[in-house]
Amino acid sequence: MSDVRLSDVCIAAVADLFRNDGEIMVSPMAPVPAVAARLAKKTFAPELVLTDGFNKIIANVAPYGVPDPDQVVEGWMPFRKVFDTLWWGKRHVIMGATQVDQYGNQNISCIGDFQKPKVQLLGSRGAPGNTISHTTSYWVPKHTKHVFVPKVDVVSGLGYDNAAKLPEVTRARHEIRAVVSNLGVFDFQTDDHRMRIRSIHPGVKLDDVIANTGFELIVPADLPETRTPTADEVALIRALDPKGIADKELGA
Amino acid sequence: MIDKRKTVDEIASTLRDGMTIGIGGWGSRRKPMAFVRAIVRSGVKDLTLVTYGGPDVGILVRTGQVKKVVYGFVSLDSIPLEPHFRAARQNGTIEVMELDEGMFQLGLRAAAWRLPFLPTRAGLGTSIMDTNPELKTVTSPYADGETLVAMPALRLDAAFVHVNRADAAGNGQVTGPDPYFDDLFCMAADKAYLSAEEIVPTEKLLEGAPLQSLLIDRMMITAVAHAKNGAHFTECPPDYGRDEAFQKEYAATAKDEAAWEAFRARYLDVSEDEYQKAVSK
CA distance B3 to chain A (A): 31
Partners of B138 in the β-ladder: B148
The yes-or-no verdict on residue A1 having pLDDT over 60 is no
User: B202 phi and psi, to 5 degrees?
Assistant: -50, -40
Cα A62 to Cα A65: distance, rounded to the nearest angstrom? 9
Residues A11, A36 contacting (CB under 8 angstroms): yes
Partner-chain residue, chosen from B73, B148, B179, that has the shortest CB–CB distance to A125: B73
Cross-chain Cβ contact A110/B103 below 8 Å: no
Please report the pLDDT score of residue A68 as a whole number: 94
pLDDT (mean) for B165-178: 98
Q: What is the DSSP letter of B243?
A: -
Residues B29, B240 contacting (CB under 8 angstroms): no
Q: What is the pLDDT of residues A142-165, one digit of tens each?
A: 999 999 999 999 999 999 999 999
Q: Under the phi-then-psi rule, with left for phi > 0, alpha for psi from -120 to 50, and beta for the rest, what region is A143?
A: beta
pLDDT-above-90 percentage for chain A? 98
Please report the pLDDT score of residue A2 as a whole number: 59
Please report the pLDDT score of residue A204 as a whole number: 97
What is the residue-averaged pLDDT of chain B?
Answer: 98
Please report the pLDDT score of residue A233 as a whole number: 98
What are the Cα distances from residue A145, in Å, to A207, B168, B173, B222, B250?
A: 13, 58, 49, 53, 33
Q: What are the chain A neighbours of B105 within 8 Å (beta carbons)?
A: 80, 83
Residue in B closest to A106 by C-alpha: B126
pLDDT (mean) for B176-200: 98
3-state secondary structure of A51: strand
Q: How confident is the model at residue B1 (pLDDT cuts 50, 70, 90)?
A: confident
Q: What is the pLDDT of residues A5-50, one digit of tens each?
A: 999 999 999 999 999 999 999 999 999 999 999 999 999 999 999 9
User: A71 phi and psi, to 5 degrees?
Assistant: -55, 130
Cross-chain Cβ contact A123/B98 below 8 Å: yes
Cross-chain Cβ contact A128/B126 below 8 Å: yes
pLDDT (mean) for B65-94: 97
Residues B65, B47 contacting (CB under 8 angstroms): yes
User: A89 phi and psi, to 5 degrees?
Assistant: 100, -5
Partner-chain residue, chosen from B26, B71, B124, that has the shortest CB–CB distance to A123: B71
The yes-or-no verdict on residue A252 having pLDDT over 70 is no
Cα B156 to Cα B108: distance, rounded to the nearest angstrom? 9
Which distant-in-sequence residues (6+ apart) come within 8 Å of B150 by Cβ?
Answer: B116, B117, B118, B119, B135, B136, B137, B138
Partners of A176 in the β-ladder: A136
Residue in B closest to A84 by C-alpha: B102
The whole-model pTM stands at 0.97
What are the Cα distances from residue B252, in Å, to A75, B212, B247?
A: 38, 39, 9
| CA contacts within 13 A on the Cβ side of A91 | 25
Partners of A186 in the β-ladder: A179, A197
Which distant-in-sequence residues (6+ apart) come within 8 Å of B126 by Cβ?
Answer: A124, A127, A128, A131, A155, A156, A157, A158, A162, B100
Q: Could you tell me the CATH superfamily of domain B8-100+156-280?
A: Glutaconate Coenzyme A-transferase (3.40.1080.10)
3-state secondary structure of B220: helix
Q: What are the chain A neighbours of B86 within 8 Å (beta carbons)?
A: 119-120
Q: What is the pLDDT of residues A78-133, one digit of tens each?
A: 999 999 999 999 999 999 999 999 999 999 999 999 999 999 999 999 999 999 99
Measured CA angle at B50 (ends A126, B41), to 5 deg: 140
Residues B145, B139 contacting (CB under 8 angstroms): yes
CB atoms within 10 A of CB A215: 14
Cross-chain Cβ contact B127/A125 below 8 Å: no
Partners of B189 in the β-ladder: B156
* Element holding A96 (H helix, E strand): none
Partners of A75 in the β-ladder: A57
Cα B32 to Cα B227: distance, rounded to the nearest angstrom? 9
List the one residue out of B120, B175, B170 whose CA is nearest residue B150. B120
Please report the pLDDT score of residue A251 as a whole number: 85
pLDDT (mean) for A165-193: 98
- The ranges assigned to domains in chain B are 8-100+156-280, 118-152
Q: What is the DSSP letter of A166?
A: S
List, in order of start, the domains of chain A with CATH numbers: 6-240 (3.40.1080.10)
